[in-house]
Amino acid sequence: MKKYKVVVQELAKTDIRGARRWYNDQQPDLGKRLTAEMTATLRQIARNPTSFAIRYKQVRLAQLTTFPYAAHFYIDTAASTVYVLAFMHTSRHPDTPKDR
Domain ranges of the chain: 5-99
Instruction: Give all strands (DSSP E) within the chain, no chain letters.
Output: 5-8, 54-56, 59-63, 69-76, 81-89
Kindly tell me if the per-residue pLDDT of 89 is higher than 70: yes
| pLDDT at site 92 | 65
Model pLDDT for residues 63-81, shown as the tens digit of each residue? 999 999 999 999 999 999 9
Phi-psi category of residue 84: left, alpha or beta, with phi > 0 → left and psi -120 to 50 → alpha: beta
In CATH terms, the superfamily for domain 5-99 is RelE-like (3.30.2310.20)
Average pLDDT over the chain, rounded to an integer: 91
Mean pLDDT of 19-48: 95
| pLDDT at site 95 | 57
pLDDT-derived band at 93, boundaries 50, 70, 90: low
